[in-house]
């Protein structure tokens, strides 16, 4: 009856009824909650995925924050500050969701800073012009939404619930990027060219955000069986292309793919080959900004040490005080 083959295989000593209970919850499309029994491999897969997702949110603040001081108007500045702040919030929800699986935030941050856990390779590209803020909103946040909407139905409750709120905010991010690009595209000749150049640079890396092709994706089949993942990488990538083509047309911008054509039979857009060598190079640390992003993150963490110390001292003081009050009662 189960759709989660070998779900309990990682906990060889787990009683059969626990495994059956887990399988039944997954098969019924219900949620696994933190106190429920779960296979070790399910827990470690989620920790890896949620930590990577949280890291992507906070590293993703960097490329755009780079433009806050140079935003062309107060309105644009306010929108961009709100967006970058939202990404910090997404990081918080996600670190919180990962903590429910028994992993500490210090441990996750330590792994990020030492390169033992990853973040999305898209954030290793530079933001060269103001139009990049628009292209990131439209394409990068757009790809994130396509990836994350199905995660709202993920089998792990805290992750699924965090995603509901994240997706609402991502849709504001996507729209502000689209509106920014639309303004530039319909502005002066130079502004149009700047918007086109940004789309030229961000299009292919955005398609890579869906991960390697299905036949090379190491974790996909098991994640789908556990209903962490609902659609394959290639399926989501195709969905994203199909959404973007008419939007690019409405923006008056061209997608940089000469092989893009409507396929009557499939009723989907065919698109050109992705340069997976570039993807693997960036993943290996050889992207244009890998070094810069991690260095900046480590520095921010070190410089924030006094805030964490002060918050911990404050919490300890109040805990001691409420303990004394409880004794007095």
Shortest gap between Cβ of 90 and Fe ion (angstroms)? Answer: 4
Which residues bind to Fe ion, rule: CB under 5 A?
57, 87, 90, 141, 170, 173
Cα-Cα-Cα-Cα torsion 153, 156, 159, 165, nearest 10 degrees, comes to 40
Of 8 and 60, CB closest to Fe ion: 60
Q: Using only the alpha carbons of the chain, give its radius of gyration.
A: 22
Shortest gap between Cβ of 67 and Fe ion (angstroms)? Answer: 15
Q: Is 227 left (phi over 0), alpha (psi -120 to 50) or beta?
A: left
Shortest gap between Cβ of 140 and Fe ion (angstroms)? Answer: 8
Q: How many CB atoms lie within 10 A of CB 325?
A: 9
Of 8 and 177, CB closest to Fe ion: 177
Evaluate whether 16 touches 22 at the Cβ level (below 8 Å).
Answer: no
Shortest gap between Cβ of 170 and Fe ion (angstroms)? Answer: 5
Cα-Cα-Cα-Cα torsion 68, 74, 76, 78, nearest 10 degrees, comes to 70
Of 132 and 141, CB closest to Fe ion: 141
Distance CA 90, CA 83 (A): 11
**Tokens matching residue 254:** 């061209």
Of 8 and 63, CB closest to Fe ion: 63
Of 38 and 54, CB closest to Fe ion: 54
Of 173 and 182, CB closest to Fe ion: 173
Shortest gap between Cβ of 261 and Fe ion (angstroms)? Answer: 30
Shortest gap between Cβ of 179 and Fe ion (angstroms)? Answer: 15
Shortest gap between Cβ of 134 and Fe ion (angstroms)? Answer: 13
Shortest gap between Cβ of 63 and Fe ion (angstroms)? Answer: 12
Shortest gap between Cβ of 58 and Fe ion (angstroms)? Answer: 9
Cα-Cα-Cα-Cα torsion 180, 183, 189, 192, nearest 10 degrees, comes to 40
Reference 274, options 188, 181, 329, 204; nearest CA is 204
Q: How many CB atoms lie within 10 A of CB 145?
A: 19
**Tokens matching residue 224:** 């789908």
Of 87 and 132, CB closest to Fe ion: 87
> Strands (DSSP E) along the chain, which ranges?
261-263, 268-270
Of 86 and 257, CB closest to Fe ion: 86
The DSSP call for residue 263 is E
Own/partner pairs for 292-295, CB < 8 Å, 24+ apart? 293/59, 293/62, 293/119, 293/123, 293/124, 294/113, 294/115
Of 11 and 146, CB closest to Fe ion: 146
Distance CA 7, CA 4 (A): 5
Distance CA 192, CA 300 (A): 35
Reference 203, options 163, 260, 150, 151; nearest CA is 260
């Amino acid at each position: 009856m189960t759709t989660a083959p070998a779900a309990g295989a990682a906990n060889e000593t787990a009683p059969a009824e626990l495994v059956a209970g887990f399988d039944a919850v997954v098969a019924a499309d219900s949620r696994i909650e933190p106190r429920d029994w779960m296979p070790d491999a399910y827990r470690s897969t989620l920790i890896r995925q949620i930590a990577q997702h949280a890291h992507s949110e906070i590293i993703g603040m960097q490329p755009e924050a780079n433009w806050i001081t140079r935003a062309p108007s107060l309105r644009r500045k306010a929108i961009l500050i709100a967006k970058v702040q939202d990404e910090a919030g997404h990081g918080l929800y996600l670190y919180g969701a990962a903590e429910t699986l028994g992993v500490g935030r210090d441990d996750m941050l330590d792994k990020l800073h030492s390169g033992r856990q990853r973040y999305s390779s898209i954030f290793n590209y530079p933001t060269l012009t103001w139009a990049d803020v628009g292209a990131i909103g439209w394409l990068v946040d757009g790809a994130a939404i396509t990836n994350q909407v199905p995660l709202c139905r993920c089998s792990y409750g805290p992750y699924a619930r965090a995603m509901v709120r994240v997706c609402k905010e991502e849709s504001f991010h996507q729209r502000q990027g689209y509106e920014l690009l639309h303004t530039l595209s319909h502005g002066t000749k130079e502004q149009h060219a700047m918007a086109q150049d940004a789309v030229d640079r961000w299009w292919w890396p955005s398609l890579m955000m869906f991960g390697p092709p299905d036949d090379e994706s190491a974790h996909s089949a098991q994640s789908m069986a556990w209903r962490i993942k609902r659609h394959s990488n290639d399926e989501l990538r195709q969905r994203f292309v199909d959404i973007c083509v008419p939007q690019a047309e409405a923006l008056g911008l061209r997608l940089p793919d000469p092989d893009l054509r409507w396929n009557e039979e499939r009723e989907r857009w065919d698109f050109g080959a992705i340069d997976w060598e570039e993807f693997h190079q960036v993943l290996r640390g050889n992207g244009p900004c890998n070094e810069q992003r991690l260095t900046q993150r480590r520095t921010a963490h070190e410089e924030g040490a006094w805030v964490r110390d002060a918050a911990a001292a404050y919490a300890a003081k109040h805990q001691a005080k409420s303990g004394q009050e409880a004794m007095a009662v």
